[in-house]
Amino acid sequence: MTNNRNTERWRKILRIGLIVGVWLVGVTRAEAVQESKGQDGEEVLCLDVRGRGDLNGGKVSLEQEAEPKSEDTVRVSEQKKDSSGKDDEYDGRYGWPLQRIPRRVIVCELPDQWAEAMLLESLSGLAAQAVNEERFDALVWIRDPNSRSYARHFEAVLDRLDISDTMTMGVWELADYLKKERVVKGYVLYRKDGWSGPLYTRRDDIDLSANVATVYAGILQGILVDETMESEVRRHGFRLLKDARYETPEQCFVLNKALLNNGSALSIDPLVTNCRDIAIAQRLMLYYDTGDLAEQVLEWVRPLSPILGWNCGDEDEYTGAITRWGHYNTATNWCRNLPLLSAGAEKGVPARACEVDPKTIDFTDTADFHAYVMSDGDNMQWTIGAFVDDPRYLGNPARDSVGLSWTTCPVNLSVMAPSVWKDIAALQKSNFSLIEYGGGYQYPDQFAINRPNREELLRAFARRLDYHFHRLGITVFGFICKDVDSPEAQQAFKIYAEEIEGLTGMLAVQYYPYELEGATYWFPNRDGIDIPVSTARYSLWNDVDPNRPRCGTPEYVSSLINRDVIADDGPDQQQLSWTIVHAWSDFGLTSPLCEGLGAGFGPVKVSEDLLLPQIKTVSASELLWRIRMKYRPEQTCKILGIAE
């Protein structure tokens, strides 16, 4: 009798282990498993917190820590860094998770129905998870018929990975197939939020069960099913693994943090379908809005990690929170297909940027020199999207004719979408620069200030950038600070100069205002060579603000540049300055010269055409070399091997 009871007990434990998808060692809160009856009376196993009287009357405190887990409990992060952020054996992934290469690819068109799009994201994520765990051999590509850019990326990634075996399926056909292949074990139920306004807005009574369900989808290997679609999924033979409609994200985090990958997190509106595939594949925690949960999650994520998605509220509010815990915002909220785009990225040789050879610069030219620099290149969803196709941006065929350099995200792209970075690098000629913008969206003056070892983390972050800059040929580093003059910002600049070898220089703007006095700060590198940090003097921004006298329309900014050149005209008064161009400012209605041009490249061309003949526009790299020659001639001549 005793033996029978013991046998039955172990059978239940094994069944639970199969549903959770991890080896259970010891007792954790995540083992709060209750049996319930499905719609057809079948027995299902569900992780649930309803009815538990030991959670503060139904409320879960974030101070409650999950009990320690055995090393065998979950295998979600093979490349653990210690909590201090020490990175003695850097793996080259820049904090991003690894995605194994599939043998084949299944293409599924993005459904028109929102609930099916959510379902498809979960199917893609579970396939990627199974490939990583060597239980399956195919990744899913979600085909968006309206995106020419992603269509090109798809062909490029197939070529890069040498994959010829592709097949096409509908979303329900794919669901049935993955169930048959035991990639999918059932479904996780959620309720769609009822909001009908703009996405990524803060709202009361928001239903976050879709985010909770996404967390459980990765843990339980279940597809995402909206409650309106439950009868359909039951007809396809799927069983309920978890009803997420009655669990808060706070409860979910406490119950499951021991089962989750603390190498990243996803901040996402529950009505946005994008990026759920990588979150499920890598078993990430999801959160939305700022506040206690966001702070707890960001503290829990190990330092120097990418935070996916976007958020509601003020941009600097949530990016500041990410920064203060020593991470960076990836702005990936509209990305798709990151698992396949990133697969096998570590195996190839990345494309390299092509900057001007400083030995070819005519330093005897006494003209005034100016550079334009496009903002917001740290935005991964933009650069992976239409950045190289849109004629307002790098896709303009006249891009080589204007002295416009581009901030972008070479480091992140080289790790997560190397084919995209290859496309961008292929368009570059030495007359414009490709500038690494922040190493991700972060504020250097606030980086890791919530950690006890800020300087150590700053140096580790800079050393990672150094590794990638050398691989990618990047020599100009740009960033946005909350306060450029602050001691914290100056500390960060000093560390960047010391840890990133081969920098031509750095470009700094401020969150508000973008444009400053055009001042240049100097910091010695490890060889004692001074590296400039140049601030923007002007800003092309569709904004009229008495507190921003050097900001405005193309014709206004050009008049300011011309005025300053005339005012400082003299034998030793060569002007070396630059303008930051707000990427999203549409001047079509505010500038008569920009009618029909909108944002981006067109307004820059208008501004450049209005400059005085003695003002020449150059790349950001050339401008920095000219600054170095003007203010540090002896050092610069020695580096270049030319006579002073």
Cβ atoms of 540 and 593 within 8 Å: the answer is no
Q: Annotate 30-62 with DSSP letters as a single string.
A: GG-EEEEE-TTS-EEEEE--TT-TTTTTTPPPT
Sequence-distant (6+) residues with CB within 8 A of 8 are none
Structure tokens at 600: 């981006």
Calpha distance 131→137 (Å, rounded): 6
Check residue 348 and give its pLDDT: 86
Q: Annotate 284-340 with DSSP letters as a single string.
A: -EEE-SSSHHHHHHHHHSPSS-EEEE--SS-HHHHHHHHHHTT-EE---TT---HHH
Sequence-distant (6+) residues with CB within 8 A of 175 are 119, 123, 184, 223, 233, 236, 238
Calpha distance 309→322 (Å, rounded): 12
Tell me 96's DSSP state.
P
Q: Give the position of tokens 């050339």.
A: 622
Calpha distance 209→441 (Å, rounded): 28
Q: Spell out the alpha helix ranges (H) of 343-401.
A: 380-384
SS3 451: coil
Tell me 348's DSSP state.
S
β-pair partners for 47: 33
Check residue 571 and give its pLDDT: 62
β-pair partners for 552: 540
Cα 349 to the center of its chain, rounded Å:
21
Check residue 487 and give its pLDDT: 98
Cα 308 to the center of its chain, rounded Å:
5
β-pair partners for 46: 34
Three-state helix/strand/coil letters over 579-643: EEECCCCCCCCCCHHHCCCCCCHHHHHHHHHCCCCCEEECCHHHHHHHHHHHHCHHHHHHHHCCC
The phi and psi torsions of 432 (rounded to 5 degrees) equal -140, 155
Which of 276, 204, 207, 215 lies closest to 245 in space, CA to CA?
A: 207
Rg (C-alpha) for the chain, rounded Å, is: 26
Calpha distance 12→6 (Å, rounded): 10
Structure tokens at 221: 């290997």
Q: Annotate 120-185 with DSSP letters as a single string.
A: HHHHHHHHHHHHHTTS--EEEEEE-TT-HHHHHHHHHHHHHHT---EEE--HHHHHHHHHHTTS--
Just give the CATH number of 371-640.
3.20.20
Q: Where are the domains of the chain?
A: 104-346, 371-640
pLDDT by 10-residue block (mean), the chain, 644 residues: 47 46 36 36 38 31 36 30 53 96 98 98 98 98 96 97 98 98 98 97 97 98 98 98 98 98 98 98 98 98 98 96 98 98 94 95 96 98 96 94 96 98 93 96 98 98 98 98 98 98 97 94 98 98 89 96 88 89 94 91 96 97 98 96 84
Instruction: Determine the length of the chain.
Output: 644
Torsion over CA of 283, 288, 292 and 295, rounded to 10 degrees? 60
Cβ atoms of 42 and 54 within 8 Å: the answer is no
Cα 559 to the center of its chain, rounded Å:
37
SS3 481: strand
Check residue 643 and give its pLDDT: 82
Which of 314, 396, 363 lies closest to 597 in space, CA to CA?
A: 396
Give the torsion sign (CA, 177, 182, 183, 187).
Answer: positive
Calpha distance 38→24 (Å, rounded): 24
Cβ atoms of 578 and 372 within 8 Å: the answer is yes
Pairing of strands 166-168, 186-190: unpaired
